[in-house]
Every structure is written in C-alpha cells, then in structure tokens.
Homo-oligomer: A and B are copies of this chain.
C-alpha cells in the first residue's frame, strides 16, 4: 500500500486541461483519448544519480530537468504533449525530498502543459525514468530522415550554455557564481524545450532533432538518416552574451558545436518557409537562427565555414564528420 500512498500524496497534482485523460493514476493503466487523424509518439529517458545529475542538486531541479529532457523529444517530433508516466526508484522515503521533487515536477508539468498520468515508485538507487506521450497529425511528425537538399538548417535558442555550465558545479554549490555564470548554470538546470513552437513548426519544417548530445552529433543524425550533408556558417551559431563573456568567442563556438544538454531544436525547412518560420518564432517569443543548409553527398559530412574558409574546431568529439 505504501507505494500507492506515496504516488497519491506527491504525484496526484496533475490534471489535464485538454480532457484527454479519461483515467489517470489509480487503475492498472491510465486511459487516454486520442483525437481523430492523429498518430501517437512516445519516448523514454532515464536519469541516474551520479551519472546524469550531481547528488547535491535540488530535487526540484532534478525533477524539472527529467521531464524537460523528455518533452524535448516530443518537440523534436513537432508533437503536442499528451501525458507522461514517472517511474522512480528511491533509496529511502524522505518526505522533504519527495515534496521538493514533486514541486519541480509540477512546475515542469505546468510549463510544458503535460499531465502526469501514471507511475511506479520502488525502492532502489535513485533513478528517474520518464516516458512521454504526444500526438501529431497523421504523417506530419518531424522525422530525422526527412531533410531535403537545399533546406535551411535552423536552431532555436542559444547553444553551448549548458555545456559551459557543467564545470560550474562547485562554484554553484558554494554560491560563488557571477551573473553570467548564474545564467549558464540555470540553462543547465532548467532547459526549456520550445514545445509550443515545435508543434506549429510541424507544418513548416521537414526534419528535426533536439540538441542533446551537441549540435554536430545531433545534426549528424539528421544527415545520416536523410542521406545528405550540410554546410554550417560558424559565425551564425547563436551564442548568448553570457557564454561569450564566460568562454570568449572561440570557446563559445566550441561549446555550441560540441557541447550537449541544450535541449533546443535543430530543424530543416525549405528556404521558401523563412518568413513563416520567423513570424511564428516572433509570435511565440522564440529565438531562431538560420545556421546553414543541407548539401548533396550521402556521407553525412558537416562542412564548417568561417569568413569563407573551413573552420576546424579544437575538440573533435565528432570524428564521424569531416570539417
């Protein structure tokens, strides 16, 4: 009974506004209605203490990020959030910890408009697995394999902030971050996948992926699956002022190309869609930047250009690709 009581107490906050949740937590399964002419999309991600997050991070931030990184996968499909399940293994039941975790989860659930529909609480090393569900109009999902020759390549938000923040853990815990560092740290803790923008983008774009392993790696997945290559203008990479202040321009570009944990969107679309994409982004107060274009060549090569010359990043975490 304990498991059930736990779930009930801390994880019963979530109610769908959409009415899609017919039965939520409390039966063997949740029951959801799916609108006509929609396909279901689903993804799962696990976060393990000490592997994916530091042990001393606020449980509210752990919860927020756990949901955000999964919502990011929905955004990468152009999907509308439907609901999520939470499976959590906990070494012990600490009410304070659970309260904070539940608060952070609720904040993310509200921010991304995705209700909690079911879960499982067990004893074990701290491990958080979230499975998200969403819907897309039939055959309108933004797939990695759908990029087309001469498509523009776009990204939302700024890149590299979270990767730069990874080294700030000690300073953050001893409250010694300056303003720029504080901003970077927050980007690592609380990614904000552009889920509303992504849903509306589904009818404007061809392919999309979320930037979780670094732009070069993730764009590489699109290129591999679409059997094409890409040219990127390094001067067009979207860099936050804070990142440039923290790492210098060249350092910032390195973080933007090879860093991970951004949870922004990288997508491709026909050049004729530029105005529509810019208008949509402006309406929703989302930053978008056009950083390059899809080129011919099945080798999934990424050609980086700066001032008309090939650009060679220092770190080569992306050996799969040539510069």
| CB–CB A44/B124 < 8 A | no
| CB–CB B131/A28 < 8 A | no
CA distance A88 to B44 in the complex (A): 10
Residues of chain B with a CB closer than 8 A to A23's CB = 141, 143
Considering only CB atoms, which chain B residue lies closest to A35 in the complex? B34
Interface residues on A, range: 35 or more
| CB–CB A33/B85 < 8 A | no
Integer count of this chain's copies in the complex: 2
The reply on A166 being an interface residue by CB < 8 A is no
The reply on A210 being an interface residue by CB < 8 A is yes
Considering only CB atoms, which chain B residue lies closest to A47 in the complex? B122
The reply on A298 being an interface residue by CB < 8 A is no
Considering only CB atoms, which chain B residue lies closest to A117 in the complex? B42
Name the residue among A122, A134, A144 with the largest chain B CB count within 10 angstroms.
A122
| CB–CB B26/A225 < 8 A | yes
CA distance A265 to B278 in the complex (A): 55
| CB–CB A89/B127 < 8 A | yes
Other-chain residue from B51, B77, B320 in contact with A29 (beta carbon distance below 8 A): B77
Q: Which of A78-112 contact B (CB under 8 A)?
A: 79, 83, 85-89
| CB–CB A42/B51 < 8 A | no
| CB–CB A29/B41 < 8 A | yes
Smallest CB–CB gap between A72 and chain B, Å? 8
| CB–CB A34/B44 < 8 A | no
The reply on A115 being an interface residue by CB < 8 A is no
The reply on A256 being an interface residue by CB < 8 A is no
Name the residue among A26, A51, A89, A134 with the largest chain B CB count within 10 angstroms.
A89
Other-chain residue from B32, B44, B77, B88 in contact with A131 (beta carbon distance below 8 A): B44
CA distance A131 to B120 in the complex (A): 10
The reply on A250 being an interface residue by CB < 8 A is no
The reply on A307 being an interface residue by CB < 8 A is no
The reply on A169 being an interface residue by CB < 8 A is no
Q: Quick one: given A40-B31, A40-B133, A127-B125, are A120 and B45 in contact (CB under 8 Å)?
A: yes
| CB–CB A122/B46 < 8 A | yes
The reply on A283 being an interface residue by CB < 8 A is no
Considering only CB atoms, which chain B residue lies closest to A86 in the complex? B44
Residues of chain B with a CB closer than 8 A to A122's CB = 46-48, 51-52
| CB–CB A40/B34 < 8 A | yes
Smallest CB–CB gap between A54 and chain B, Å? 14
Query: Scoring A residues 123 to 150 as 1 if CB is less than 8 Å from chain B, else 0, what string do you get?
Result: 1110101011110101001011100000
Q: Sample 13 A-B pairs with CB under 8 A, ordered by A number.
A: A26-B225, A27-B77, A27-B145, A28-B73, A28-B208, A29-B76, A30-B42, A34-B40, A45-B120, A46-B88, A46-B124, A85-B131, A124-B125
Residues of chain A whose beta carbon lies under 8 Å from any beta carbon of chain B: 1, 22-23, 26-34, 36, 38-52, 73-74, 76-77, 79, 83, 85-89, 117-120, 122-125, 127, 129, 131-134, 136, 138, 141, 143-145, 208-210, 217, 225, 320
Q: Please name the 8 residue pairs, one residue from A and one from B, whose CB atoms are nearest each other, closest first.
A: A48-B124, A28-B76, A29-B41, A131-B131, A125-B125, A129-B129, A29-B43, A44-B85
